[in-house]
Amino acid sequence: MRDRKRRIRGAGVLVAAIALAAGQAAAVEPNVKTIAAGLNYENLTRTVFWKGDAASSKIQVNLVQARADLEFAKGIVVSLTAGLVLTDFKSLTFTSLPISLQYAGAPLKGLAFGAEIVAPFAKFSDIEISGAGRFVYSFAMSKTWPLEGFAVEGKARGESNWAEVAVGPRVSYLFFGRVVPYVEIFARWLGAGFKMTETLGDLGGTESKRVRGDFSFSAGLGADAAVSDRVVVKAKVGILPFAGGVDGLVSVGILYKF
């Protein structure tokens, strides 16, 4: 019941974020100038510290989503996404269960929903400066693994959820016309949770891990390329530096304009 309430609250936050983004755009111009729809793939890795852990571990996310871009007046673009996610929690250890476990299973399958907005606010010749932001919320379907090598039957069940908010400036170079390269610097906030439930004979226990709010900065280089009057390809690569290393992100999508 608690997990269901968390997901309902998370969905509520998502709806509010989408409504806010759409409302801001609609306040400028109620009519949508163009609509584009297609598919988008994203890979993101984050190094985090789970509450109570002394060592860091990684969260790796693969997203395959349907995407719709709504362009309003003054170049404001609101994007809505929904699709499937594979979330891999590497080196995550649970020590408060009857038998300690280290998560080493396949990535958890789940659903992800998100909203993005890009709003230009200044232009100098071929240079355009925009404010950009996005919100993504994901929850995984629970998965059960057998516990082998014991005299009694046992199993472990895991379930997770995470959310990310990213905001920052984007600088685009408009000189090339059909191809618009850009650089962006984002401040990123990540919250995540993982609950492991273990049953071993008459023993049982539950342990929850949480990342209350992990902050990071990313630098990205991307481009929007109009292959034709109808087809647009969007691609981006980026880095997320942290103490002792660098995480990465890759995003590529193809959209059809109506």
pTM for this entry: 0.82
| Helix residue ranges per DSSP H, the chain | 2-28
Please count the CA atoms within 13 angstroms of the CA of 211 that sit on its side-chain side. 25
User: What are the tens digits of pLDDT across the range 191-202?
Assistant: 999 999 999 988
One digit per residue, the tens of pLDDT, for the chain of length 258 reads 444 444 445 444 444 544 454 445 445 445 888 999 999 999 999 999 998 888 888 999 999 999 999 999 889 999 999 999 999 988 788 888 888 888 877 789 999 999 999 999 999 999 999 999 999 999 988 888 888 888 888 999 999 999 999 999 999 999 998 999 999 999 999 999 999 999 998 899 999 999 988 899 999 999 999 999 999 999 999 999 998 899 999 999 999 998
Q: For residue 232, which of 45, 17, 29, 77 has the smallest C-alpha distance?
A: 77
β-strands 57-71, 34-48 pairing: antiparallel
Asked: is 2-257 a CATH 3.40.50 domain? The reply is no
- Specify the DSSP element, H or E, that contains 112: strand 108-124
CB contact at 8 A, 160 and 140: yes
* Predicted local confidence at residue 9, as pLDDT: 52
Listed in order, strand segments (DSSP E) in 125-176 are: 127-140, 143-147, 154-173
CB contact at 8 A, 167 and 175: no
- As a whole number of angstroms, the distance between CA 132 and CA 119 comes to 6
In order of 190, 208, 242, 252, the CA distances from 193 in angstroms are 10, 7, 21, 27
User: What are the tens digits of pLDDT across the range 176-186?
Assistant: 989 999 999 99
In order of 78, 174, 184, the CA distances from 256 in angstroms are 15, 21, 24
User: What are the tens digits of pLDDT across the range 204-225?
Assistant: 999 999 998 889 999 999 999 9
DSSP for residue 104 = -
* Predicted local confidence at residue 11, as pLDDT: 47
- As a whole number of angstroms, the distance between CA 80 and CA 18 comes to 8
The domain segmentation of the chain, as residue ranges, is: 2-257
Residue 150 sits at φ, ψ, to 5 deg, of -115, 160
